[in-house]
Chains A and B, each alone.
Chain A
Amino acid sequence: MPGSLTIVGTGITLISHITAEAQAAIARADKTFFLVTHPLGEQWLRQLNPNAESLARFYTPQRERLDVYRDITDHVFGAVQAGHTVCAAFYGHPAVFVMPTQDLVRRAQAAGYPVGVLPGISAEDCLFADLRLDPGALGCQSYEATDFLARPRRFDAATPLILWQVGVIGYFQVVDATLDAAKGLALLEVFLRRWYPMEHEVIIYEAAMLPIGEPIITKVALHRLRNAPVTAFSTLYVPPIVPPPVDAHMLEQLGLSSIDSL
């Protein structure tokens, strides 16, 4: 048996976000593995493929996330090596914040197996829609929150800023109900206050996981960020303080009188 690997995204909102090609890949695989955020997702994926197997069992509280990812990669790749037509389905976009995807692609390609990665609707796509944010207008900066603090960049406060995983800053373990987000949020708040006014309104965002749900959009002044309600799925959107400046000389070279029409 030749073995192959297709990695797909189910989208963020269960059922309604999946693409036709992802759904087909899940259904036709002889081994489908999945990782979704909602208990109903398990039933849904087993309707698409009765042999689908959840990877959630690798997530036990306090385990190092890297260990979890390694076990997931080993388990899925084992099925590819056994010659199965394998589909691995991850919620959201399979190449965005899904570490096993990169490892699986690397290992499968190195071993000569056919590999495909099919995009899904990511949390960022949902954020753009729900917050009416067009990255084409003023640009967009996007960082994982812990990484953003640990490796400070020259970011631009005149450009929209998106920080992912603000509810689990500093956590590298699987989190449970004891998660205390306040310490990480306080550090982030202090850091951001170097560039933004205290009263600058930021948004805590969480996409809807079910079709019958609504996104969670909480506006909070920056100086109150540390006490803002967050979960492991929360994202922070920091609007720009001012529009980016226009370079009149460059406009002239481009033959433009303004960039308002862009």
Chain B
Amino acid sequence: MDDTNLVRFMQDLVNNPEELRRYKQDPSAYLASANLSEAAKGLLSQFAAPFMAVEEVSTVFTLSIPSPKQAFSTAQAEPIPLTKTAELHAPNAPVIIEKTGSAKGDQCSLLPLSYIHVSPEKVVSFSLRIAYINPKDTTDYSYVFHISLGSVPKSVEPLAENIPVSLTTIKPLVLTYNKAITRELQVGSSYDPSSGTLKLSFT
């Protein structure tokens, strides 16, 4: 661990605002060419905000949420395809969502003030606040991330608090600290109101 080197790296950035601006524009690209050890770069990824670009991976991200009655206004048997872009946000700290360890997925819980809504025209919108415990993290610290699609009408009642949510992802996903990102949803993304399964496929 080369903390001294890191301090010097930051001192150089402070003394050169143009370099600091370049760093903030694209931290991962800047770090790639920086004269720092891999360990130091790893440390920076924990310390800094924003610290690393979102990892560019194609993944299928599935959340199973106990289906709320208010989520749809008409009986809906078929999964509803989702298009447009989903927004992901890690408001407090960087979140690394690991590749799921078991077929059943990892257990998360839904935080208060989470919403999901299906309009009569079968347009799905949601705003979910999720507490995630990284199974590889020995501290059991729960990380919070937000995921949203479209704009949920203000009249919608929030989902029940702290209900368990199952999360599966076929590849790890890294969320930058305090920097919302948008991801275009791919074909195959859907919401099944009867089972509460939200399947998000994005690159």
Selected from B24, B49, B113, B141, the residue in CB contact (under 8 A) with A227 is B113
B124 contacts A by Cβ under 8 Å: no
Please give, as numbers and ranges, the residues of chain A lying within 8 Å of B14 by CB-CB distance: 15-16, 211
The answer to whether A229 and B92 touch across the interface, beta carbons within 8 angstroms, is yes
CA distance A156 to B104 in the complex (A): 54
Interface string of A119-131 (1 = CB under 8 A from B): 0000000000000
The answer to whether A211 and B10 touch across the interface, beta carbons within 8 angstroms, is yes
Say yes or no: A47-B4 contact (C-beta < 8 A), given A15-B10, A218-B91, A227-B113. yes
Please give, as numbers and ranges, the residues of chain A lying within 8 Å of B144 by CB-CB distance: 229
CB contacts under 8 Å to A, within B44-96, are 44, 47-51, 91-92
The answer to whether A211 and B7 touch across the interface, beta carbons within 8 angstroms, is no
Selected from A44, A177, A216, A218, the residue in CB contact (under 8 A) with B7 is A44
The answer to whether A229 and B20 touch across the interface, beta carbons within 8 angstroms, is no
The answer to whether A212 and B139 touch across the interface, beta carbons within 8 angstroms, is no
Selected from B3, B13, B23, B92, the residue in CB contact (under 8 A) with A43 is B3
The answer to whether A43 and B6 touch across the interface, beta carbons within 8 angstroms, is yes
For residue B8, which residue of chain A has the nearest CB?
Answer: A47
CA distance A47 to B11 in the complex (A): 11
The answer to whether B11 and A212 touch across the interface, beta carbons within 8 angstroms, is no
Say yes or no: A212-B7 contact (C-beta < 8 A), given A224-B113, A227-B111. no
Rounded to whole Å, the gap between the CB of A221 and the closest CB of chain B is 10
Please give, as numbers and ranges, the residues of chain B lying within 8 Å of A42 by CB-CB distance: 3
Say yes or no: A227-B112 contact (C-beta < 8 A), given A15-B10, A40-B10, A44-B7. yes
Interface residues on A, range: 20 to 34
The answer to whether B10 and A43 touch across the interface, beta carbons within 8 angstroms, is no
CA distance A42 to B6 in the complex (A): 12
Main secondary structure of the interface of A (DSSP, over half): loop
For residue B6, which residue of chain A has the nearest CB?
Answer: A40
Say yes or no: A212-B141 contact (C-beta < 8 A), given A38-B47, A227-B111, A229-B92. no
Please give, as numbers and ranges, the residues of chain A lying within 8 Å of B50 by CB-CB distance: 213-214
Say yes or no: A208-B10 contact (C-beta < 8 A), given A229-B92, A231-B92. no
Give me the 4 closest cross-chain CB pairs, A-B, nearest first: A43-B3, A16-B14, A213-B49, A212-B48
- Could you name 22 residue pairs across A and B whose Cβ atoms are closer than 8 Å? A15-B10, A38-B47, A43-B4, A43-B6, A44-B7, A44-B11, A47-B4, A47-B7, A208-B49, A210-B48, A211-B10, A211-B14, A211-B20, A212-B13, A213-B49, A214-B49, A214-B50, A218-B91, A227-B112, A227-B113, A229-B91, A231-B92
Known A15-B7, A210-B48, A214-B24; 20 more pairs at CB < 8 Å = A38-B47, A40-B10, A43-B6, A43-B7, A44-B11, A47-B7, A177-B139, A177-B141, A208-B49, A211-B13, A211-B14, A212-B13, A212-B24, A212-B27, A213-B47, A213-B49, A214-B49, A214-B178, A216-B91, A227-B111
